[in-house]
Amino acid sequence: MAVISDFRNVPEEAQGAAVALGNFDGVHEGHVAVIDSAGEIARAKDVPLGVLIFEPPPRMYFQPEGTPFRIMTPETRRDALREHGVDIIYELPFNKEVSQMSPEAFVRDVLVEGLKLKHLSVGFDFRFGRGREGDVNTLATLAKTYGFSFSVQERITDGFTKISSTAIRTALQEGKPETAGHLLGRYWRATGTVEMGEQRGRTISFPTANMRLGDLIQPMHGVYAVWAQIEGEDKWRAGVANFGRTPTTGLRDPLLETHLFDFDEEIYGKQMTVALVDFLRREKKFDSFEALTLQIAADAADAKQSLKAMSGGSLSVSALPKPE
């Protein structure tokens, strides 16, 4: 899969694609529908399937000090797009030049003269151009003017909720990983480098692998049943994780602390992916370290019960289960 980062220097073999255009944060079921729409045209026209995204996202450009909101890292998003059969990712920088383009200038300079696209697919609520002036009606008109085909994917729901990145973020912030997973089509995951923590867990036989979430959205602070995959391993290991500031032992920046069952190896510096499966309880301050220790043991038992129920009694799986 090719990744193109400059619309002015697109290689000839990466030109002339059917392109899905959008934010695609999370690559949820609504995004997949837009990509599949472009994919149908790509196969019919015998051209590559491309996805155009901006990095950083416009929201980060306009609000650089804003609250973390990403559902996926750029690397995880590329992997997800590859899994959906995308041939080319146009991962273009969102900068002052792009932010000040009129809708027509964007279509002319980027899509037509840069990518030389054959088809464009977007979601029903897509907006673009300086001040978000352009919408799907603007694109329909410009597609006729510049001679490429155009399709719009209508709203997709799960029967009740519009499937959107906003709905997924809300579910995570409300401590509803099952809902987020249902909307995503897979459990939400965080990938990061395991770093050394305070090592208090080792003193009570509950060592943890600690990760910072960086630019990823912060889910509700609390305890979760999780599946985790360590760099270099194919299987997913069962575990229990706390995300938050650990108010009993001292407030600090939020950290994802994961205890893996039946595992006691040093993995500092390795990449690890943690999938939030079930929210067990909110983070709370305990009166003593002893009370915290008892609660951790209870959390571990609850997490094991939850994870075994979806894995046929196993504490490791070769493939991450799908949300029900």
Q: 254-296, pLDDT tens digit by residue?
A: 999 999 999 988 999 999 999 999 999 998 888 777 888 899 9
* Burial letters 228-246, b for 16+ CB under 10 A, else e: bbbeeeeebbbbbbbbbbb
Write the pLDDT tens digit of every residue in 68-85: 999 999 999 999 999 999
Same domain, 149 and 190: no
Contacts of 96 (CB under 8 A, 6+ apart): none
Domain that holds residue 269: 186-317
Tokens of 114: 């840069």
25 pLDDT more than 70? yes
The answer to whether residue 280 is domain-embedded is: yes
Same domain, 145 and 198: no
The answer to whether residue 104 is domain-embedded is: yes
What integer pLDDT is reported at residue 219 of this predicted model? 97
The CATH number of residue 220's host domain is 2.40.30.30
Average pLDDT over the chain, rounded to an integer:
92
Same domain, 146 and 243: no
The answer to whether residue 322 is domain-embedded is: no
Burial class (CB in 10 A: 0-12, 13-18, 19+), 15: middle
The answer to whether residue 176 is domain-embedded is: no
Same domain, 22 and 143: yes
Going by pLDDT thresholds of 50, 70 and 90, the confidence category of residue 246 is confident
Category of 46 on φ-ψ map: left (φ > 0), alpha (ψ -120 to 50) or beta:
left
The answer to whether residue 170 is domain-embedded is: no
Number of domains in the chain: 2
The answer to whether residue 172 is domain-embedded is: no
Same domain, 128 and 251: no
What integer pLDDT is reported at residue 64 of this predicted model? 86
> Mean of the pLDDT values across residues 313-323?
91
Tokens of 289: 């370290």
The CATH number of residue 49's host domain is 3.40.50.620
Same domain, 78 and 190: no
The answer to whether residue 17 is domain-embedded is: yes
Sequence length of the chain is 324
The answer to whether residue 164 is domain-embedded is: no
Same domain, 145 and 7: yes
Same domain, 92 and 218: no
Same domain, 222 and 302: yes
Going by pLDDT thresholds of 50, 70 and 90, the confidence category of residue 10 is very high
